[in-house]
Amino acid sequence: MKKFLLSILLIFSLSVSGKSLSFFSSANDGIGYHQYIPSVRGLGMGSTGLALPDSVSLNAYNIASWRYMNITRVNMLMRINYVQTDFPGQSFNTSTGKFSGVQFGIPIKKNVVGFGLSITPYTDVDYSFTQNLTNELGSYQENVFYEGSISRAQVNLSWSPHPNYGFGFSFNYYFGRIRDRYKLTFTSSENYNTNYVVEYRFKGPGFSTSFDWNIINKINLGGFIDFKPKLNFNRVINSPLTFTQQKTTENGKLPIFWGIGTSYQLSPRIIVTSDYANQKWSEGLDISGLNTQNLTDWYKWGLGIERSHDNNRPKVFINKIDLRAGFSLGQIGYLFNNEPVHEYTGHLGFGFPFYQNRARLDFAFIGGVRGDKQKNLAEEKFFQIFISLSAGELWFQKLR
Amino acid sequence: MVKLKIFLVLLLLTGFIFYQCSENPIDLNPDLVGSNVLGTLKDTVLYAINDSSYQTESIISTQFSSRLILGSVTGFEARPALRISNFFRVPDSATILNAQFHLVRGGVSSKGMASPMMVAIRPVLNAWTTNIDEVWDIYQQNIDPSASYATFEINPEDTSDILVELNPEGLDKVIDWYNLYWADPDSISPNNTGILLDFQNSNFLQYFYAINTTLDTTSAKLLNPGLIISFSLPNDTTIITDTLEFNFDATIYIGEIPKIADRDYIATLFPHSTLLQFDLKAFLDRLPQDVSLNSANLQLFIDKQNSLIDKNLGISHTVTLELDKITATTVEVDSAKGRFLETSAWGPDSTYIEIKSGDSRRRLATIYLQSQLINIDSTSGFVISIIDVLNPPPDVITNERNYYSYLAFYTAKDPNPALRPRLTIKYWVPPPPRL
């Protein structure tokens, strides 16, 4: 176990050295690449998991499924992202590491009422490029950095009035900032090298609800809906001319975000899932002056399967772990070259239960293609590793 | 064991991924960058809307000058005065036999063809320390025009040292100074009044190295003015020769710069400054607030016919901020802030001066202009003037005390717009916000 934890720490420490997430996170009028990480277990199964009963890890969207937790739980996620970006006549590789969320849940009344907190990445922007420019006024290099993220913090309550179904309620608080940084470096000392920053700040409350329903013995249905949060949007520019800060404030809303999923227990150790999530990004942020012409609807559809570990102390290693696979397709919510950008992803996952199944280390390996070099002028081949540690300890309960 | 293998596989995989990564930011193909993603580098040319010039001082002290000036040009006359008071190196028992006056030339300046001038070394009547002493108010009253210790001709083409033997009257005067010294070596006698180099007709300026000049580091030659004394000691027929350095010097100058209408001036010795005002408020109003100033250049076109430009000696001037409104009756120059910009760069065709390329143009934009734009309501303009340059090398005369020069600038109202003073501002306009 110590070696596993050591490997996670090592990967965490390495992950900060990389940069750049996705070219498609830099869309004009956009707030970055939309993150959708229900759970690392679900990511291994084609980005599903809304209707996946799980007493070990906590789902980031379907809070109603927290009704399965019977001890205090904490869930930490991170990811490593490797992207090969191809433009016509140009190609490069980048990578980044990100902390990807945390959930903390306490069963107030075992399998009936649960309470918890969570932070989930909502969007992410991390892209930079440079241009060497020359005109009659001089030669200079312009470096452009788009960086930042928006996150969603939640106070969650799950309630299961009946063993077959439950509900989840969350108070959400959205927060984050995106910085567009421009750095000009001139070849001649007669020019002042400019640094210019525009910062977009978001904050605001929202509400979401979810459900989990065991329709019949082998079939589950789950879903969530994030109602339109009211956003306070600030655009902050530190004028390099007058050294004054120009701050404009607007009110806006994020479109409704919803998802629904189902799972079917094929056999005691095999379960198949399918989820669909959608957000009408084409509606925009409802902020006056912002265009929606670069926006289109975001969606993700996934299909997955899991062969779970054998609880009867198997001797063969493959039976000691959970094996997962899946496929997903989606649309990232932005138009590039006036065309929607699609994403096709293959998923593999592994779960390593330990501490008598009270904890689990989950890995998801995701690879796919985003965009199209002809249609979108850019194509990204990406490979991501997601890691989550789901822990639950009796001493948590003893503390209470 | 299995877990250890998994750990190692993860480690290798992670290392492989990061090995594959390239550095950021990526040099993106320009075709892939949208036109509104990058900012734009622009420039704007502003022409002066108001201008003026004024004299800041009637006369300045040449006490610490490293050059002496002799001659006349365009209404300006200059005559060096010298005093020697230290005869320590000539023993009190010595007999002075001969004295030669020695000067080292430091360049020539003229408006046209220069012709030789005759110079007379005349006695000064009253003791003095600097050229701004009261005794020089009317210099003719402080010399004896009927007396001469030596006369010599200065040819502007000649660059050799001046070495002139004093006549018996001059030698007697040197012996008087020698006796005054040994009568009281600890003080300078008021009767030791020195000499003045006088002339009647001149059409050029001859520069000599002054007592503040240091050794020529390349040849170790003493450049200071001096007296070469030959003397003998009692009961010894050996004639000893030694060079004594003058202890006081000054350039006694009179006149004024010859001004014509519709020109602005800057000058040395009769310090003039030129005021320029540009409509920065209108410029600011036209700009988006978040532009970044990158560089600026100020160009002033010169009426060379009405200027005295000493290209050999060079010219330096500065741009400083003006405290008062340009229309104020009492103009103060914010020279105390030491915001000096070198503007000694000549335009490619020598018809204008401009801010030296490099740091100065950047500073003009980011220090001068930016501060004026921030305080736009109290902005009044620029003051252009010739100022001292600190620690000039011995061969470069850039101190306003060291040479005589004046520049006549075309004004903001000149009929030819191409000759009007102009300010070119280069700035970067950022792209519109993405959100």
- pLDDT tens track for B153-187: 999 999 999 999 999 999 999 999 999 999 999 98
B61: number of Cβ within 10 Å:
15
pLDDT at A45 over 70: yes
Residue of higher predicted confidence among A330 and B59: A330
Token output for B272: 């003039």
Position B348 scores a pLDDT of: 58
A249: CATH: 2.40.160.60
pLDDT at B1 over 60: no
Q: Nearest C-alpha of chain B: how many angstroms from A157?
A: 34
Q: Nearest C-alpha of chain B: how many angstroms from A242?
A: 5
Helix (H) or strand (E) holding A195: strand A195-216
Residue B34, chain A, CB below 8 Å: the answer is: yes
Position B142 scores a pLDDT of: 96
Average pLDDT over all residues of chain A: 89
Are B359 and A190 inside 8 Å of each other by CB? yes
Residue B49, chain A, CB below 8 Å: the answer is: no
Position A400 scores a pLDDT of: 43
Q: Nearest C-alpha of chain A: how many angstroms from B364?
A: 10
Angle subtended by helix axes B2-20 and A2-15, to nearest 10: 10
CA B87/CA B178 separation, integer angstroms: 6
pLDDT at A394 over 80: no
Residue pair B340/B320 in contact by the 8 Å Cβ criterion: yes
Are A182 and B43 inside 8 Å of each other by CB? no
Position B37 scores a pLDDT of: 83
Length of chain B: 435
Are B27 and A130 inside 8 Å of each other by CB? yes
Q: Which of A182, A191, A378 sits opposite B430 (nearest CB)?
A: A182
Position B105 scores a pLDDT of: 93
Q: pTM score, two decimals?
A: 0.81
pLDDT at A36 over 60: yes
Residue pair A72/A392 in contact by the 8 Å Cβ criterion: yes
Are A242 and B358 inside 8 Å of each other by CB? no
Per DSSP bridges, beta strands A113-135 and B26-27 are parallel
Summarize pLDDT for B325-354 with one digit per residue, the tens: 555 555 555 544 444 455 555 555 668 888
Residues of B numbered 365-424 whose beta carbons fall under 8 angstroms of chain A's beta carbons: which are they? 365-366, 370, 373-374
Structural domain that includes position A177: 2-399
pLDDT at B397 over 70: no
Residue pair B149/B122 in contact by the 8 Å Cβ criterion: yes
Residue of chain A minimizing CA distance to B1: A3
pLDDT band at A344 (very low <50, low <70, confident <90, very high): very high
Token output for B215: 């050794």
Q: Nearest C-alpha of chain A: how many angstroms from B393?
A: 25
- Give how far the C-alpha of residue B335 lies from the chain's centroid of Cα atoms, to the nearest Å: 15
Q: Which of B115-124, B236-245, B361-370, B407-416 has the lowest mean pLDDT?
A: B361-370
**Chain A residues inside the 8 Å CB shell of B345:** none
CA A347/CA B134 separation, integer angstroms: 99
- The proportion of chain B whose per-residue pLDDT surpasses 70, expressed as a percent, equals 78
Residues of B numbered 7-26 whose beta carbons fall under 8 angstroms of chain A's beta carbons: which are they? 7, 10-11, 13-15, 17-18, 20-22, 24-26
Largest CA distance in chain A: 77
**Chain B residues inside the 8 Å CB shell of A247:** none
Residue of chain A minimizing CA distance to B33: A131
Residue of chain B minimizing CA distance to A177: B435
A161: number of Cβ within 10 Å:
11
CA A121/CA A99 separation, integer angstroms: 9
Position B295 scores a pLDDT of: 94
Are B290 and A196 inside 8 Å of each other by CB? yes
Residue of higher predicted confidence among A354 and A261: A261
pLDDT at B215 over 90: no
Q: How many domains does chain A have?
A: 1
Position A273 scores a pLDDT of: 97
Summarize pLDDT for B16-64 with one digit per residue, the tens: 555 455 445 677 776 677 767 888 999 999 999 988 888 888 888 898 8
Position A268 scores a pLDDT of: 92
Summarize pLDDT for A176-216 with one digit per residue, the tens: 999 999 999 999 999 999 999 999 999 999 999 999 999 98
Supply the DSSP string of A212-280, one letter for each residue. Answer: EEEEETTEEEEEEEE---EEEEEEEEE-TTT-PEEEEEEEEEPPPEEEEEEEEEEETTEEEEEEEEEE-
Are A94 and B22 inside 8 Å of each other by CB? yes
Per DSSP bridges, beta strands B318-321 and A33-34 are unpaired
Are B17 and A95 inside 8 Å of each other by CB? yes
pLDDT band at B401 (very low <50, low <70, confident <90, very high): confident
Q: Is the peptide bond before A255 cis (omega within 30 degrees of 0)?
A: no
Position B214 scores a pLDDT of: 65
Its sign, for the CA torsion B146, B147, B152, B155, is negative
pLDDT band at A278 (very low <50, low <70, confident <90, very high): very high
Residue of chain A minimizing CA distance to B358: A190
Q: Which of A126-140, B45-59, B225-239, B300-314 has the lowest mean pLDDT?
A: B300-314
Which residues pair with residue A209 across a beta bridge? A169, A225
Q: Nearest C-alpha of chain B: how many angstroms from A232?
A: 13
Are A191 and B358 inside 8 Å of each other by CB? no
Residue B32, chain A, CB below 8 Å: the answer is: yes
Position A290 scores a pLDDT of: 83
Residue of chain A minimizing CA distance to B375: A242
Summarize pLDDT for A51-68 with one digit per residue, the tens: 999 989 999 999 999 999
Q: Which of B38, B292, B358 sits opposite A189 (nearest CB)?
A: B358
**Chain A residues inside the 8 Å CB shell of B289:** 237, 239, 241-242, 244, 246
pLDDT band at A364 (very low <50, low <70, confident <90, very high): very high
Position A370 scores a pLDDT of: 96
Burial of B200 (0-12, 13-18, 19+ CB in 10 A): exposed
pLDDT band at B272 (very low <50, low <70, confident <90, very high): confident
Residue of chain A minimizing CA distance to B8: A7
Are A242 and B26 inside 8 Å of each other by CB? no
Residue B336, chain A, CB below 8 Å: the answer is: no
CA A293/CA A272 separation, integer angstroms: 38
Are A235 and B433 inside 8 Å of each other by CB? yes
Could you give phi then psi for residue B251, rounded to 5 degrees? -105, 115
Please state the ipTM of this predicted complex. 0.84
Helix (H) or strand (E) holding B174: helix B168-183
